[in-house]
Chain A
Amino acid sequence: MRYVMIIGLALIILLSFPTIASTPPDTLVIGVIEEPETLDPAIDYTFGTLPIFRACYERLVNYNSHTRKVEPELAIGWEVSRDHKVYTFHLRPGVRFHDGAVFNANAVKTAYERVMTINQGPAWMLTSYVESIEVVDEMTVRFTLKSPFVPFIRMLTSYWAMCIPSPKAIAEHADDLGKAFFRDHVVGTGPYKLTSWVRGRQIILEKFEEYWRGWPGKHVKRIIIRKVLDTTTMALLLEQGELDIAYGIPVDEAVYLKDKPGINVFVYSTFTTNMIAMNTTRPPLNDVRVRRALSYSFPYEEAMKVFAGYVKPLIGQIPPGMPGYDEMLPHYVFDLDVAKKLLAEAGYPNGGFTFEYTWVTEEPEGRRVGVLWQEQLRKLGINLKITEVTVAGHWERISDPTTTPDLANYRWGIDYPDPSSILLPLYHGDAAPPAGYNISRLSNPRVNELLDELVKEEDERRTQLLLSEIQTLLLADASNIWISPVPVAICLRTNVHGFVFEPAYFSSFNVYDIYKE
């Protein structure tokens, strides 16, 4: 009896602690799956850091996905030389960093030169194009490029490499270029500043009182970015009100949250696309007829089930919503008869080959897409051997044509919101891995020529024509099977307002505008 009483008492004490509570009204709790590895904008190149970068750092310019225009952020205006080689930015006065340092032209130069010196991850965006950065006066900075590059202004809207950290903090940790300091610290000009990061648990951001936009209207004081590893647990936490926003729940799981009271589920199409690259360096995939046959054998509509029907098959290489998307392009549809005919023309009326198809562990749709396709290919006498690879394994294999699988499922997320961020690294002849991501290793001289022209073209109408021609040629070459844009589900409690989705940097949140009511 005595033991029962002790155990009972212990249980009462244990359970009397307030374990489950809804989040306070001035605090926004965001659940994420992916945790940053480093917070250094010169090194980090992952989607996991974007919520922090967007809240704490700023860039010269911002891309507005809804107006599709580049708008001022830390720059208030800019001029571009006629040859698109010299970009001059006039900077916003009265901006301060979290450590009190003043934002000026020197801050921009210091930040970007640091990225170029460290020369890792996203640095290629600057090192490939920028010849020099010059301080014209206190509030004017000038970039001179190596060659004309029209998308440069959109490239500057990237969160990777383009966030501007405090020059004071950089100078104080100059011995290792600030690598150790910026790995765990954030010193930007953004609306929130980092107050703590417990790895594997959470990141806490607090309102930066001296933020240059000021704090009129409704905002939250504190943001907690909470790591949740398991998506089922994440859904449970959101349901119970322990999270305000859940990011990372797969679309097909998020559907089940739709009818729950107090939860809004939004599914958005992003600028990240899912594709299958065909290794064109060896037979039979070096024959365009075989590649076209495979393109016709892919069950496009059925594959959309993998994303719970929230997206449509891709038409061309550019996802909907991005400049250059063209619904009128001729494209492949599922038609086994045409596929059979093409195979016969190529001399394989009964198929008779086995292809290795790889999918990347972190991109699980690849497996399901592969299984659906396997069934159709069997009808053509083609056997699909499905192999799982880790990201590291995938990169190693594609960096050499002899180890590149016949068919590799992969995702491509853009670096900046411009078609060149898809077309140059994926389809230019010079972009074969490891230099780029042209996994199929197909080089069409005409496509290369048009791509070189594209980055120099500023006229919108002519750009559109160029894009249509490039995409038509790529479709005819059939180096890839273009499946669909990758959708994401953002689940919010109904008391969260002001959220606007950003398809280019979809793992980031416009936290400054979000409030709870």
Chain B
Amino acid sequence: MRSYIVKRLVFLVVTLWGILTLTFFISRVIPGDPARLAAGIRAKPEQVKQLQKELGLDRPLIEQYGRYITNVVRGNLGKSIRTRRPVSVDLIEYFPATVELTVFAMILCLVVGIPLGIASAVWQGSFVDHVSRLVSTSAVSMPPFWLGLLLQLIFFRWLKLLPAMGRLSIYLSPPPHITGLYVLDSLLTGNWTTLGDSLVHLVLPGIALAAGSMAVISRMTRSSFLEVLSSDYIRTARSKGLPERVILLRHAFRNALLPIITSIGLQFGVLLAGAVPIEVVFTWPGIGLYAVQSILFSDFPAILGVTFVVAIVYSVLNLIVDLLYTVIDPRIRY
């Protein structure tokens, strides 16, 4: 087990190096000289040159690459050309917002998706199953940004129940920065007003982001359960006269969980990527928003920083999912 984890971690480093290298060279293909943008529209060529020198953009590409990788190893992601701050400072500010939204969306996916999937497997072909299928198909086929706008229209404009944008009402100050996750920081500092307010702000973007993945997880749960429910040991359990609840939760659930866990791991990645349009619609100051602005500005260090962080999160999540297999199914050993 330990050697497996070590092996995976080595792979992780290699993967990250590959991703950084690829992104480094691809981002240089994007047309546009960031020094020119940063210097301003009327900047004289010598001003642009001066700034290129300051940003190290006047060096040969391979030297820039070498310097960048060395800096990353030392934990320095460089300075953003657009915001003129260290990329790590920007990421610390923007990333928690995305994490909070994604985690909230994932909780929604699990809490709604799995029970819905189980219900439609157990009552296959029934009214519940049809409704669940209808909801899933609609959720998968609706673009998240459109669903976001629809939710704003209904819950903000018509019903006046939920806020349409941001992480917190403007008259409230954010809780003291501990993790950057407003919900968690409010809980830790016992600030109940910001806790309620930040939860309320999560509802609409959370639903809009979660809908698609929720549907996928619910369908995956359904098919996995159907397969398990028709197996011999379930029939044996039934013939032994075990109550249906015990059969479902103790016998079927654990065996059906493996493909569901895989799909949850993948959906985390989908949610991270899907957060970009949702962050725009709900003005959610997350990493997606930061990435879009950086790309438009050809802000190389920022683009690389975002890619790096997302890659780490995605790889680590995959590792966790793989390790979870052994917990759920003792037959699996690494």
Interface membership of A19, Cβ < 8 A? yes
Q: Measured between C-beta atoms, what is the minimum distance from A196 to chain B in Å?
A: 8
A227 with B283: CB separation less than 8 A: yes
Interface membership of A191, Cβ < 8 A? no
* Residue among B47, B174, B282, B286 with most chain A CB within 10 A: B47
Total number of A-B contacts with CB less than 8 angstroms? 163
B4-12, B149-157, B261-269: which one contacts chain A?
B149-157
A228 with B283: CB separation less than 8 A: yes
The closest CB in chain B to the CB of A227 belongs to B283
* Residue among A15, A17, A227, A435 with most chain B CB within 10 A: A17
Q: Select B163's contact among A20, A29, A239, beta carbons within 8 Å.
A: A20
Interface membership of A381, Cβ < 8 A? no
- One digit per residue, 1 when the CB lies within 8 angstroms of any chain B CB and 0 when it does not, for chain A 1-40 equals 0000000000001110101110010000100000001100
Interface membership of B42, Cβ < 8 A? yes
The closest CB in chain A to the CB of B90 belongs to A199
The closest CB in chain A to the CB of B94 belongs to A200
Interface membership of B326, Cβ < 8 A? no
The closest CB in chain B to the CB of A198 belongs to B174
A14 with B200: CB separation less than 8 A: yes
Interface membership of B322, Cβ < 8 A? no
A19 with B45: CB separation less than 8 A: no
Q: Select B42's contact among A43, A240, A242, A436, beta carbons within 8 Å.
A: A436
B26-34, B57-65, B217-225: which one contacts chain A?
B26-34
* Interface residue ranges of A154-209 to B (CB < 8 Å): 179, 183, 198-202
A120 with B39: CB separation less than 8 A: yes
B170 with A226: CB separation less than 8 A: yes
- One digit per residue, 1 when the CB lies within 8 angstroms of any chain A CB and 0 when it does not, for chain B 70-111 equals 000000000000111100001001100100000000000000
Q: Measured between C-beta atoms, what is the minimum distance from A263 to chain B in Å?
A: 14
B31 with A397: CB separation less than 8 A: yes
A392 with B37: CB separation less than 8 A: yes
Give the CA-CA distance A45 to B41 in the complex, in Å: 8
A97-105, A229-237, A266-274: which one contacts chain B?
A229-237
Q: Measured between C-beta atoms, what is the minimum distance from A204 to chain B in Å?
A: 9
B170 with A224: CB separation less than 8 A: yes
- A-chain residues with CB within 8 Å of residue B164 when the two chains form the complex: 233, 236-237, 240
Q: Measured between C-beta atoms, what is the minimum distance from A228 to chain B in Å?
A: 5
Interface membership of A93, Cβ < 8 A? no
The closest CB in chain B to the CB of A27 belongs to B171
B84 with A415: CB separation less than 8 A: no
The closest CB in chain A to the CB of B281 belongs to A230
- B-chain residues with CB within 8 Å of residue A198 when the two chains form the complex: 174, 285
- One digit per residue, 1 when the CB lies within 8 angstroms of any chain A CB and 0 when it does not, for chain B 142-162 equals 000000010011001100111
A13 with B196: CB separation less than 8 A: yes
Interface membership of A443, Cβ < 8 A? no
Give the CA-CA distance A38 to B40 in the complex, in Å: 13
B51 with A120: CB separation less than 8 A: yes
- A-chain residues with CB within 8 Å of residue B67 when the two chains form the complex: none
Q: Measured between C-beta atoms, what is the minimum distance from A401 to chain B in Å?
A: 15
| Known A19-B163, A19-B169; contact A391-B32, beta-carbon cutoff 8 A | yes
- A-chain residues with CB within 8 Å of residue B298 when the two chains form the complex: 390, 392
* Interface residue ranges of A355-397 to B (CB < 8 Å): 361-362, 389-397
- One digit per residue, 1 when the CB lies within 8 angstroms of any chain A CB and 0 when it does not, for chain B 292-334 equals 0001111000000000000000000000000000000000000
Give the CA-CA distance A224 to B157 in the complex, in Å: 22
A233 with B39: CB separation less than 8 A: no
- One digit per residue, 1 when the CB lies within 8 angstroms of any chain B CB and 0 when it does not, for chain A 210-244 equals 00000000000000101111101100110110100
B170 with A240: CB separation less than 8 A: no
Interface membership of A106, Cβ < 8 A? no
- B-chain residues with CB within 8 Å of residue A250 when the two chains form the complex: none
B42 with A425: CB separation less than 8 A: yes
Interface membership of B185, Cβ < 8 A? no
Q: Measured between C-beta atoms, what is the minimum distance from B33 to chain A in Å?
A: 6
Give the CA-CA distance A201 to B166 in the complex, in Å: 7
- A-chain residues with CB within 8 Å of residue B119 when the two chains form the complex: none
A14 with B169: CB separation less than 8 A: no
Give the CA-CA distance A399 to B45 in the complex, in Å: 10
- A-chain residues with CB within 8 Å of residue B295 when the two chains form the complex: 390
- B-chain residues with CB within 8 Å of residue A124 when the two chains form the complex: 40, 42-44, 47
Give the CA-CA distance A24 to B149 in the complex, in Å: 27
Q: Measured between C-beta atoms, what is the minimum distance from B112 to chain A in Å?
A: 12
* Residue among B42, B193, B200, B298 with most chain A CB within 10 A: B42
The 7 closest A-B pairs by CB, nearest first: A392-B32, A200-B285, A121-B40, A393-B31, A392-B298, A17-B196, A45-B40
Q: A37-B83, A228-B283 are in contact. List 10 more A-B contacts (CB 8 A).
A: A14-B203, A19-B161, A201-B168, A226-B170, A362-B296, A392-B31, A392-B33, A395-B33, A434-B36, A434-B43
